[in-house]
Structure 1
Amino acid sequence: MAKYLLLKHYRGAPASVNDVPMDQWTPEEVTAHVRYMDDFAARLRTTGEYVDSRALTTQGTWVRSDGAGRPPVTDGPFAETKDLIAGWMIIDVDTYDRAIELAGELSAAPGRGGEPVQEWLELRPFYAELPTVTE
């Protein structure tokens, strides 16, 4: 089994074939979209392929070391980037092909008017082991 991270991005502009920004959806359309993702996760729980998932708010803060003990902090991510991470799901599957298959299914979540959003999802494998540096 190998773990993969599915990153769901939210863009203020259309990001897919049938995408209309979510802030233009009706409450019923948002509910149907979230229900689809919940049902998807429930199905993967029964197969043992679901690990975890979370939705994220649009609020965020950037932090980095300043080398002096007090890291600088800025507001962000900023909405004008039109690209925020809206949420993520971790799956644990036997093959890369299965991970691709599941990402494709999740991409078909309903959007405006009940049409599949067909959004791009970022699929990232976890390291099985942390890489080590050898000399």
Structure 2
Amino acid sequence: MKYLVMIQGTQADYEAMGGKPSAHSPAWSEQDLRAMFAFMGAVSNDLAESGELVDGQGLTEPARARAVSAGPDGRPVISDGPYAETKEVLAGYWVLDCESLERVTEIAARIASCPGPEGAAQYPVLIRPLQGTGGGDA
């Protein structure tokens, strides 16, 4: 069964990773960043070796995002980010092909233990089964 495993963050978190702290996001040092990237790389490498990794990517900061919706006249309305009404956003993901929900939960628990600077926000790792892959079919 395939699952989407998602990590979250905020614009402030991305800015803190770039060295600009805020009240809720302490600045990340080069050592903090290296530790986080090494940890995430090891997770992805292990999942590739086990044959469970289908795809995985980190995403750019919300400030580089764009939202497109239909306006009242049917023409597109385009907004650039970050969005004031948005708190946490998708920061990265893995598409995994795992034998069970228990297995993907083990992986999510590992991802949740990613290192970061003291005081950095902790977000849950979200798991969503993909439709048409053996569970959650519509």
Q: Note if 1:128 corresponds to 2:132.
A: yes
Question: What is the alpha-carbon distance in structure 2 between the residues aligned to residue 72 and residue 78 of structure 1?
Answer: 14
The RMSD of aligned alpha carbons is: 2.7
In the alignment, which residue of structure 1 is the partner of 2:54? 51
Structure 1 residue aligned with 2:42, among 1, 25, 39?
Answer: 39
In the alignment, which residue of structure 2 is the partner of 1:66? 71
Could you report, residue by residue, the CA deviation over 1:83-106 in whole angstroms, capped at 9, with x for unpaired residues?
Answer: 121111111100000011110011
Question: What is the alpha-carbon distance in structure 2 between the residues aligned to residue 119 and residue 33 of structure 1?
Answer: 15
Structure 2 length normalisation: TM-score?
0.75
Counterpart of 1:43 in 2: which secondary structure? helix
Q: Does the CA-based 8 Å contact 1:8-1:122 persist in structure 2?
A: yes
Question: What is the alpha-carbon distance in structure 2 between the residues aligned to residue 42 and residue 96 of structure 1?
Answer: 20
**Percentage identity across aligned positions?**
29
Question: What is the alpha-carbon distance in structure 1 between the residues aligned to residue 87 and residue 72 of structure 2?
Answer: 31
Q: Does the CA-based 8 Å contact 2:69-2:77 persist in structure 1?
A: yes
Kindly state the Cα deviation for residue 80 of structure 1 after the two structures are TM-superposed: 6.7
Question: What is the alpha-carbon distance in structure 2 between the residues aligned to residue 49 and residue 74 of structure 1?
Answer: 36
Equivalences for residues 70-109 of structure 1 within 5 A: 70-78=75-83, 81-109=86-114
Kindly state the Cα deviation for residue 79 of structure 1 after the two structures are TM-superposed: 6.1
Q: Does the CA-based 8 Å contact 1:54-1:89 persist in structure 2?
A: yes
Q: Does the CA-based 8 Å contact 2:3-2:130 persist in structure 1?
A: yes
Partner letter of residue 130 of structure 2?
F
Q: Note if 1:5 corresponds to 2:4.
A: yes
The total of aligned residue pairs comes to 122
